[in-house]
C-alpha cells in the first residue's frame, strides 16, 4: 500500500526505510566523535617548554573547562483516547573547553528515554541520515546522540567554526522559509522547538567581516536529510499532499532511497551577507543543496507500480529584512527555490511528479506596546510558478499565525497561545502554554496542542492527536 511510504516532503514526496544493525550505528557515532576530537587535540600547541598536553590540561582545568547540563521530563496525554503519547526524559550535557590561541571546543550530547515509544516505534531505520551523524539506538525506547561537536577558531580576518553544528537562517516563528540549512526531525510534526528539531550537520563555517557587513560561508559534507516518522508512528504524515493515494488493483513495489553519499561531490554549500542600511537589518542568502526530501518517482508496468525515491539538487536564493518603528517591528523573509518537484494525481503523467520553481515568503509584525505583553502576527505564502495539471495542493497557499504572550511575577510566570491556520483549507493548530520559572535551575510548564480541520489538511491530518502535556526541567 502507498500508505507505507515513509519520508514525506513539503511537496508530498515520501521515501522508504531500511533497518541497520545497532553495532553499525555505534561504530558510526564513535568514528564521528573521534574524527573531531583528533582535530581539537591537534589544535593544542605543545612546545619544548610545555609539560605536554596533559600538563596543559592539568594547569588550566579549573579555568578552561565549563560543564553544564539539563535534565528534562515531559509527558503528553492524548485527549481523544486518554493514552500517553510520550513519557520522555532527556539528559543533555554540554562541555566547553577553552584551548590556546583563542580556540574553544564545544560538545553537546543527548540521552533520550521515551517509555511510551509511540513517536518512533521500534528501532527507526535512519536511512535519511549519513552514517557519521546517526544516533546510537540502545533499545526501542532509548537513544544517544552527539548533537553538536565543534571547534571555534577566531583569526585576524575571520571566525571559523568546524564540526557538527546548527546553522540558523531566517526569523520566522512556527514555520520555515529560509531556515533550511539543517534538516528537521518531524517525530512530533512541528511541535518541537526548532533548536531541538533541527538535525545538526558536520559543517565548515566561516564568518568574514567585509567593511560594515558580515559574510558567512558554509561547506557541508554531510548527506543527512529530513527525518520523518514511519507509517506506524503517531505523527506519520497521511494527508494526500504527502502520501499518494493507492491505485486500486495495483501492486506497489518500493525501492530503497537513492541517498547521495559522496562526501565531496554531494556536499552542500552556501553563503550569506548580513548588514544594516538606513536602520534596516537585512541578509542576502544563497544555498546550493539537495532538497531534504526525496522525489518519489513512479514507474507503472502492467498492474505493478514501482516507487523510486531520489534526492534532487536545488538552488535557493533569498533574503530577510527587519526594522523597528516605535513599539512595532516589521520583518520578513523571501526564498526562491529552483527546480523542485511536486506530486500530481494526473493518471497520464509518466512518473507522478512535475517540476516547478517555488517561491516562499513570510511577513511578520511584532508589537510590545503594553508592559509584559508581546504580540506577533505572521502570514506565510507559498507559490508554484508552473501551473501543474493534477497538482494535489493549491498553486498558491497561505498560512497565518498569531502569538500572544503575557508575563507575570517579574517574568517568572509566562502565559502564551500560538494559533496557526491554513487560509486555503481552514485547518489549523492552537497551542496554549503556561511556564513557571521556580528558580534559576528549575522550570515547570503545562500546555496543550489542539489540531482542527479535515484529514486532507496539513494540520487537520492530526485531528485525532490532540494532547495535554506537562514538563519539568532542571539545569545544573
* Residue whose C-alpha is closest to residue 289's, from 237, 238, 337, 347: 337
Residue 230 main-chain phi, psi, to 5 deg = -75, 170
Residue 165 main-chain phi, psi, to 5 deg = -160, 170
| 113 has a pLDDT exceeding 60 | yes
pLDDT of the residue at 457: 95
pLDDT digits (tens, 9 = 90+) for 340-382: 999 988 888 888 899 999 999 999 999 999 999 999 999 999 9
| 222 has a pLDDT exceeding 70 | yes
* Residue whose C-alpha is closest to residue 102's, from 51, 45, 147: 45
| 46 has a pLDDT exceeding 70 | no
pLDDT of the residue at 228: 86
pLDDT of the residue at 55: 53
Count of domains forming the chain: 1
Q: How confident is the model at residue 61 (pLDDT cuts 50, 70, 90)?
A: low
Asked if residues 360 and 337 have their Cβ atoms less than 8 Å apart, the reply is: yes
pLDDT digits (tens, 9 = 90+) for 79-112: 999 999 999 999 999 999 999 999 999 999 999 9
| 291 has a pLDDT exceeding 80 | yes
| 420 has a pLDDT exceeding 70 | yes
Structural domain boundaries, residue 58: 2-475
Q: Name which residue leads in pLDDT, 37 or 120.
A: 120
Mean per-residue pLDDT, 11-29? 37
In sequence order, the 6+-apart residues with CB closer than 8 A to the CB of 162 are: 36, 39, 150, 151, 153, 203, 204, 205
pLDDT of the residue at 14: 35
Asked if residues 285 and 169 have their Cβ atoms less than 8 Å apart, the reply is: yes
Residue 193 main-chain phi, psi, to 5 deg = -60, 150
Q: What is the pTM of this model?
A: 0.86
The mean pLDDT value of the chain amounts to 88
Q: Is the C-alpha dihedral spanning 337, 343, 348, 351 positive or negative? A: positive
**What CATH number is given to the structural domain containing 176?**
2.40.160.10
Q: How confident is the model at residue 17 (pLDDT cuts 50, 70, 90)?
A: very low
Phi-psi label, residue 462: left if phi above 0, alpha if psi -120 to 50, beta otherwise: alpha
pLDDT of the residue at 34: 44
pLDDT digits (tens, 9 = 90+) for 179-197: 999 999 999 999 999 999 9
Amino acid at each position: 500500500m502507498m500508505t507505507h511510504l515513509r519520508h514525506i516532503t513539503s511537496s508530498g514526496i515520501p521515501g522508504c526505510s531500511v533497518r541497520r544493525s545497532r553495532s553499525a550505528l555505534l561504530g558510526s557515532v564513535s568514528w564521528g566523535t573521534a574524527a573531531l576530537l583528533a582535530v581539537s587535540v591537534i589544535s593544542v600547541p605543545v612546545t619544548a617548554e610545555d609539560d605536554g598536553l596533559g600538563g596543559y590540561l592539568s594547569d588550566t582545568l579549573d579555568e578552561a573547562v565549563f560543564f553544564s547540563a539539563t535534565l528534562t521530563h515531559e509527558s503528553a496525554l492524548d485527549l481523544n483516547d486518554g493514552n500517553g503519547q510520550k513519557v520522555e526524559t532527556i539528559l543533555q550535557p554540554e562541555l566547553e573547553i577553552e584551548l590556546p590561541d583563542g580556540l574553544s571546543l564545544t560538545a553537546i550530547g543527548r540521552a533520550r528515554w521515551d517509555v511510551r515509544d509511540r513517536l518512533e516505534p521500534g528501532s527507526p531505520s535512519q536511512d535519511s541520515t549519513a552514517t557519521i551523524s546517526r544516533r546510537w539506538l540502545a533499545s526501542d525506547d532509548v537513544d544517544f546522540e552527539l548533537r553538536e561537536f565543534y571547534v571555534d577558531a577566531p583569526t585576524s580576518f575571520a571566525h571559523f567554526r568546524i564540526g557538527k553544528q546548527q546553522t540558523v537562517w531566517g526569523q520566522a516563528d512556527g514555520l520555515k522559509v529560509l531556515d533550511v540549512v539543517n534538516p528537521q526531525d518531524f517525530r512530533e510534526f512541528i511541535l518541537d522547538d526548532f533548536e531541538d528539531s533541527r538535525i545538526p550537520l558536520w559543517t565548515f563555517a566561516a564568518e568574514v567581516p567585509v567593511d560594515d557587513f558580515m559574510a558567512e560561508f558554509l561547506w557541508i559534507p554531510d548527506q543527512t536529510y529530513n527525518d520523518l516518522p514511519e507509517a506506524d508512528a503517531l505523527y506519520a504524515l497521511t494527508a494526500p499532499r504527502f502520501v499518494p493515494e493507492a491505485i486500486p488493483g495495483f501492486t506497489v513495489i518500493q525501492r530503497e532511497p537513492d541517498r547521495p553519499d559522496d562526501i565531496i561531490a554531494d556536499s552542500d554549500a552556501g553563503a550569506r551577507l548580513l548588514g544594516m542600511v538606513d536602520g534596516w537589518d537585512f541578509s542576502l542568502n544563497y544555498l546550493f543543496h539537495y532538497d531534504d526530501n526525496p522525489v518519489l518517482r513512479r514507474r507503472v508496468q502492467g498492474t505493478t507500480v514501482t516507487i523510486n525515491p531520489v534526492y534532487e539538487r536545488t538552488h535557493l536564493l533569498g533574503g530577510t529584512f527587519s526594522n523597528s518603528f516605535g513599539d512595532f517591528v516589521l520583518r520578513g523573509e523571501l526564498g526562491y527555490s529552483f527546480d523542485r518537484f511536486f506530486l500530481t494525481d494526473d493518471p497520464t503523467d509518466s512518473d507522478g511528479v512535475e517540476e516547478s520553481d517555488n517561491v516562499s515568503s513570510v511577513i511578520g509584525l511584532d508589537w510590545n506596546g503594553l508592559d509584559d505583553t508581546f504580540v506577533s502576527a505572521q502570514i506565510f505564502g507559498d507559490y508554484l510558478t508552473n501551473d501543474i495539471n493534477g497538482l494535489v495542493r493549491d498553486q498558491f497557499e497561505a498560512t497565518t499565525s498569531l502569538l500572544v504572550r503575557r508575563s507575570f511575577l517579574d517574568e517568572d510566570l509566562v502565559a502564551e497561545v500560538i494559533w496557526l491556520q491554513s487560509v486555503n483549507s481552514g485547518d489549523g493548530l492552537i497551542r496554549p502554554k503556561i511556564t513557571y520559572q521556580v528558580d534559576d535551575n528549575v522550570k515547570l510548564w503545562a500546555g496543550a496542542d489542539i489540531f482542527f480541520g479535515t484529514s486532507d489538511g496539513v494540520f487537520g491530518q492530526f485531528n485525532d492527536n490532540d494532547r495535554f502535556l506537562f514538563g519539568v526541567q532542571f539545569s545544573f
